Structure 1
Amino acid sequence: MRALIGLVAAVGVAAPAPYPVVRPGIVLRFPADHGAHPAFRTEWWYVTGWLHTAAGEDLGFQVTFFRTRPPVDPRNPSRFAAGQVLFAHAALSDPKTGKLLHGEKAARAGFGLAQARKGDADVAIRDWRLRRSEDGRWATRVAADGFALALDFRPTQPPLPQGQGGYSRKGPKPDQASYYYSVPHLRVTGRVKRGDVVAAVTGEAWLDREWSSDYLAPAAQGWDWTGLNFDDGSAMIAFRIRRKGGGTLWTGGSLRRADGRTTVFGPNDVAFRPLATWRSKATGAVYPVSQELSVRVDSGVRRWRLVPMFAAQELDARRGGLPVYWEGAVRTQGGRGYLELTGYAQPLAM
């Protein structure tokens, strides 16, 4: 975050324009909502998944692009004003080495350096890019120190609106929320480069899209989030916003069955129980990398055990002035997905 603060501070312009408030009643419209919503303060395009090589290896990957609108007066005539700032993370989980390879980029929009286009998904920072084609396929290309990803994603299911038709509460106040939808069960093909070795891969991925102006309550420490693709074609998101000092501030998520029936989880329907922790030697943070997830569904409680591909999947982006968090591939009974743990190194500010 320090890199973003530095970019904003360099502008030195007061009297920022207000941000739009997230409210219920949204009607998601595609392909427009795949594209950027530059009036909102924060937005991201997030893809994670499991990959499989011809040699029988399993790999995990993450590609995330963030867009933020700093508090800069839009009337500022300077072409150097940081009206929009983009940053991105990419990571590759390799259980053979037990290491998470990762990289990051950041730049203000414009000058041919970075863009987040409206109308459909096309977001880029220099040579890193995530875009959607008119035929509905998504593609990403990123190259970082020690690895590169060239992946194509074909949707097999329609978008899954989260919360109330895409309005997803994140706290006790109605405006502590985001507009949010997911695209689970993306079919993946492409190539992964590790060092000088290139391997063809196939797999399955999950896409998340969120935009917001007031994402977290002041009392929030961070969140535990999981997105799971199940073998039977169903898909589930579950999250909890953790309270500073301990406990849960808010929960939510949804389960869409293979036949399309969807259950939306309320603020008392989700619980995470730590089963095993891992301490980062780099940051000292202790993460609950294996958890039992309980959700209230079908007049009962169902439980899933989330087991990481391996423990050391912390993304330490302090070198680029960006946050530290744990983002890891996980297995569960009848499915696979990703688990994200934020606010364990320090409280998350958004």
Structure 2
Amino acid sequence: MWMAASQKEAHAPRDNDFYLDSACSTHVTNRRDLFISYHELEKGKRPVEEFEGSIRHAQGYGHIKLKVSVPNKDGYINVTIRGVLYIPDGVNLISQGIFMENGLRIVAVNGYGMNIYSNRTLVTRALQIGRMFPFDIKWDTPAGEDLNLSLISAFKLSSQPSGGASKSGLWHRRLGHFGIESLRSLSSHVDGVPDSLKGSCERTACVKGKHSRRPSKPVTDRAKAVLELIHSDFCGRFRTPSFGGGRYMLLFIDDATRFTKVYILKYKSEAFTRFKEFKAAAEKQMGYCIKRFRIDGGGEYTSNEFAKCLRGEGIIKKQRRHTLLSQMALWSVHIER
């Protein structure tokens, strides 16, 4: 894609001007003398589509060096731009998309232009003149400090240098912080993905997000007999009441058989009464006695009356951490209502 400029623009494109263009998919220049390295292309090998749909062909590609102004400082700096197409009758365009793909940050400042940052350092600026953004370039013999931004072109040619770790980071971010090992396997399945990706992501959130949870320790305290161990937990208060007005749920689970009994309660104070009902019914129907009663330390079973009942029945009370949801996955609970 090429920049579209209206004839009514106050600033018409000139042969020596380089413009930052958001619609351009590759760097283009008509200045053969700016190339510090150059490779000829076979005729018709590299077509370029203009904004109105016409096709032109690049004669070569390579690296160019421009001497651009440094914002807020007196002076210029030499910038090497890689992967630039040479089209003799074209316009000098710098692709904003390629800048951003290679880690540069571009910030629009109304009335001034487009500030270009590299690693939080303001490198240069494309000045705003009307609706166009030309770079402030000094056309004389390049001298002074060099800044090689290593801006790789979007098109792929065999003689271009590989990106290595920088390409790995780019593809890693493009695919939502995809794992590097998984990226390497993509090259054999997806066209355009380099096969020499390496490196790793140092972002804390990325590293933590790929951590897996350690498997739970095997359950060793498993009951062998019916009613040998009963688990109980209390849920609520629920915002929406049941048809009977209940806002709490009380569960009793037999560790050996996974038998589960659920009571819907209106008040938390009903817990002790429901426990006595469950104990009487379970022991009568199953022919066994409750030996151990495991809870999570909630306030529903801390009354003196409940403690006295357990002592009188010879039931041992055990207390666990509040991890019922993780335990339920191990119990394979089927709730009977």
State the TM bucket, normalised to the shorter chain.
under 0.3
Higher helix share: 2
| Higher RCO (CA-CA < 8 Å; seq separation 6+) | 1
Higher strand share: 1
Q: With structure 2 as the length reference, what TM-score do the two structures score?
A: 0.23
Q: With structure 1 as the length reference, what TM-score do the two structures score?
A: 0.22
Larger Rg: 2
